[in-house]
Amino acid sequence: MERARVVVRGRVQGVTFRASCAQEARSRGVAGWVANRPDGSVEAVFEGPPDDVAAMVAWCRSGPPAARVEGVDVVGEDAQGEQGFEDR
């Protein structure tokens, strides 16, 4: 299992980024969560098989059609045993 914490900057709030991210993660069976941050960015944690976590990180680089992603920071972390995917 692999875990990645992602912070996505740009026009990513108010454009269904969180809901779309959660739907994509659930469809891949990736666990974790996604949440808006006060600074206008979106933070997410993805946990699962390495290929699926990498696919979610790649998805965050573009997001849903209405988003305009300007930057993505990714930090690898130790797996925590997340269950399910939550839109916080």
Residues with catalytic annotation?
18, 36
Tokens representing residue 87 in the block: 């839109």
Phi and psi at residue 61, to the nearest 5°: -70, -15
The Cα-based distances of 22 to 3, 14, 82 in angstroms read: 16, 15, 14
